[in-house]
Amino acid sequence: MVKHSACVMGPYFSRDRFGRPQFLAALLLVVFLAQAFWLVHAELSTAQGMDAEEAIRTGEGMKQWRGHGIAGAPVTSAADNPVLHLFHNEEDGFETEHSPLIPLVSAAPLLLWPRDLNAESAVYWRWLPRLPFLACGVFLGASLWYVARRLCGNTGGLIALSFYAFSPSLIQSSAVWHTEPDVTAAWGAFGTIFTAIAVAHTLYAPREVVLWNWRRIVLLAVSLAIAIGSQFSFVVLVPMALGFLLYVAPVRRKAGAAIWISACAIGFLLFLAAYFFHLDTFRQSMRHAIFWEFSGQGFAVLAVYKQLAVQIGRACPAFAIALPVTLATYCIWRRTRYFGNTAPLLVAVVFIVFAVANPHAASAFLLAAAPFLFVFVSGVLADLLETSYRPVILGSVLALLVTYAVRTLLALAAVPKG
């Protein structure tokens, strides 16, 4: 009996599952979280109250949790708040770009606070609305590590996670430091694309695919609900997920379509749950919702491309070197042009195009593009590390990552309090 238990437990607690790569990945995630915590601490250590955007978001979430209406449908006292026109319909105060998901997530931890939310204790309770987004940042990093490791091996996974762990934009979004918490939309988008790809690969197995894949179907549904609930414009993920399902498994397209329909149906129910299944309010909100605003003007303005480059650089300053090198390698070296590299590059390019075409959701699309670029860059670098030039390339990659990390840490150290 003892021998049998050892045989069962041994493979699970093996060095392959909990070895040096996993330890290093966990360490990088801790470093990422520590940097985000530092940003939150720098902002909240002196402030006595919430800024306008955070106050609206959290207040609307508390309103819904306490049964006084649905967050953003409409916003309480919308006519009296001068900043709402930046995010909401000016006429009647309905939220036009987000579901109640973000306000609910932001306000949920405050339900556990045992005292009044006053200025004296603000230095403590103001941490609570940030905790869910800090967790989303860690979850996105863990998802990135898992995917990149499966596609590129341990080395590629660690390179991708290193890029992520010191990304100024992703640290800032996870800390909600003077920005919107777009990290939730980025996490949902990343999960949607790679879950769709994973589901498609399982269709080659000789099983009853829809029933066998119910866990991945639910995961795909949750990812869609998180992404679209965080930013309505991410509804574009619905056809993108179907496209990957049909492309990766062309011989089982009916099964892929069935899985996609099932995931969309469950995702819709989860999306509706953010409205607490208040159907009348949901219908009113959907009438005001803006799922897509296409504008072709940005493609003809040079300043838009400059700003685009700045935002991509903020996501990862190391891209200034890594991205041109890996793109050139991808174009020149045929070996790197396989699905594991092409798919994330394609998605990143599509998101960047959407950012230009939809200025109101540009920041969310650009942030969501960053993890896919990390996967692409790490995949090409992992391929280069398999060549005879490995010592030179490895030294160059390590020098780049160390410089990148030091630059981010120095920038964080210079962040003023308040």
Q: What is the pLDDT of residues 294-311, one digit of tens each?
A: 777 878 788 888 989 999
Note the pLDDT tens digit of each residue in 77-91: 544 444 444 444 444
- Secondary structure letter of residue 179 according to DSSP: S
Residues in the chain: 418
Residue 24 φ then ψ, to 5°: -65, -40
Distance of CA 238 to the CA centre of its chain: 16
The enclosing H or E element of 214 equals: helix 214-230
For residue 168, is the peptide bond before it cis, meaning its omega torsion is within 30 degrees of 0?
no
CB 138 within 8 A of CB 33: yes
Q: Which amino acid does the sequence have at 355?
A: A
Q: Tell me the C-alpha distance between 56 and 195, whole Å.
A: 33
Q: Report, in this order, helix, strand and coil percent for the chain, each rounded to 5.
A: 75, 0, 25
CA distances 181 to 184, 256, 393, Å, are 7, 32, 36
Q: Tell me the C-alpha distance between 107 and 120, whole Å.
A: 19
Two tokens, residue 414:
């210079």
What percent of the chain has a predicted confidence (pLDDT) above 70? 89
Question: What's the N-to-C CA distance of the chain in angstroms?
Answer: 61
- Nearest Cα neighbor of 16 from 107, 112, 149 is 149
Sign of CA dihedral 168, 174, 180, 185: positive
CA distances 328 to 76, 312, 377, 410, Å, are 52, 18, 11, 30
pLDDT value of residue 293? 78
* Burial call 268-279: b when 16+ CB within 10 Å, e when fewer: eebbeebbbebe
pLDDT value of residue 92? 65
Q: Which amino acid does the sequence have at 271?
A: F
Q: Tell me the C-alpha distance between 239 and 236, whole Å.
A: 6
pLDDT value of residue 77? 54
3-state secondary structure of 180: coil
3-state secondary structure of 213: coil
CB 184 within 8 A of CB 235: no
Q: Tell me the C-alpha distance between 240 and 226, whole Å.
A: 16
Give me the helices (H) in 13-167, please: 20-44, 52-65, 101-107, 122-125, 131-165
Residue 87 φ then ψ, to 5°: -130, -10
Q: Tell me the C-alpha distance between 191 and 193, whole Å.
A: 6
Neighbours of 255 (CB within 10 A): 19
Low-confidence ranges of the chain (pLDDT < 70): 1-17, 47-49, 77-92, 119, 206-211, 418
pLDDT value of residue 2? 35
pLDDT value of residue 386? 94
Two tokens, residue 147:
């995917």
- Nearest Cα neighbor of 65 from 96, 29, 109 is 109
Neighbours of 392 (CB within 10 A): 11
* Beta bridge mates, 95: 88
pLDDT value of residue 49? 61
